[in-house]
Chains A and B, each alone.
Chain A
């Protein structure tokens, strides 16, 4: 059983990772610091009965996600982005599709071998983070709100002050980019 004495230094070590995630989601260093602080305090007062660090980790990240969602809701419409053309990713679309809009031979998706097994692989997650980082900031942020914080599209659009269709375009660009990056950097390596 892990005790508070095991958990406290572990959380301190991981503070930077939490902060990086929070900052990407909130786009603001100070607010990120605040939610991470609240998260760590909640974690230290409530963490009981864990056997493994990996359990502590998912539990703490769960708290952080909720704190970030609360913060996003609190500051609803506070910092509207307004509709914008997707950032700098026309290049990506041209790289993936030919001028008729069909997959180029080398970019056509082929089957990912056993993605579930990859979830257990530490290197896979390093590649995943690197691929997320390659997305333009705003694209990554919208995508993570949708797929990692699991907010509904309507709420994301409202809080960022963008239209539904703009939101869908941004999510789509994120999927195209991330899928391509994971295929190239991970799944095709495996074959």
Chain B
């Protein structure tokens, strides 16, 4: 069976390119049995959402607004 090191690499690459049918099949088999890699796949997508929501300059915004506003 494909190991987790290889499976996570494919999960990551699936964010960048279309996987081939053999790769997809092997990956599906692996993730059906491995909760860790299943979570890795979910979190790779969650990480993308997190990055899209990111802006630097977070540090003390709320405090500023509390301080000056309301």
Chain A residues near B (Cβ < 8 Å): 10, 14, 17-18, 20-21, 52-54, 57-58, 60-61, 93, 97, 100-103, 108-112, 115, 118-119, 122, 125-126, 128-129, 144, 147-148, 150, 153, 167-169, 171-172, 175-176, 178-179, 182-183
Which listed residue (B8, B52, B58) contacts A176, Cβ 8 A?
B8
- Say yes or no: B16 contacts A53, CB within 8 Å: no
Given contacts A175-B12, A175-B47, 6 further A-B contacts (CB under 8 A): A17-B57, A109-B39, A118-B50, A128-B54, A168-B12, A176-B12
Chain B residues near A (Cβ < 8 Å): 3-6, 8-9, 12-13, 15-17, 34-37, 39-40, 42-44, 46-62, 64-65
Query: Complex formed: what's the CA distance from A102 to B43 in Å?
Result: 18
Query: Complex formed: what's the CA distance from A108 to B9 in Å?
Result: 15
Query: Complex formed: what's the CA distance from A179 to B52 in Å?
Result: 15
Closest to A93 in B: B5
Query: Complex formed: what's the CA distance from A179 to B62 in Å?
Result: 26
Distance (whole angstroms) from the CB of B52 to the closest CB of chain A: 7
- Say yes or no: B6 contacts A101, CB within 8 Å: yes
Main secondary structure of the interface of B (DSSP, over half): helix
Query: Complex formed: what's the CA distance from A176 to B57 in Å?
Result: 25
What is the total of A-B residue contacts with beta carbons within 8 Å? Answer: 109
- Say yes or no: B12 contacts A148, CB within 8 Å: no
Main secondary structure of the interface of A (DSSP, over half): helix
With A103-B36, A171-B12 already in contact, the answer to whether A148 and B54 are too (CB < 8 A) is yes
- Say yes or no: A53 contacts B5, CB within 8 Å: no
Query: Complex formed: what's the CA distance from A54 to B15 in Å?
Result: 30
- In the complex, what residues of A have CB within 8 A of residue B39's CB? 108-111
Query: Complex formed: what's the CA distance from A111 to B9 in Å?
Result: 19
- In the complex, what residues of A have CB within 8 A of residue B58's CB? 122, 125-126, 129
- In the complex, what residues of A have CB within 8 A of residue B50's CB? 115, 118-119, 128
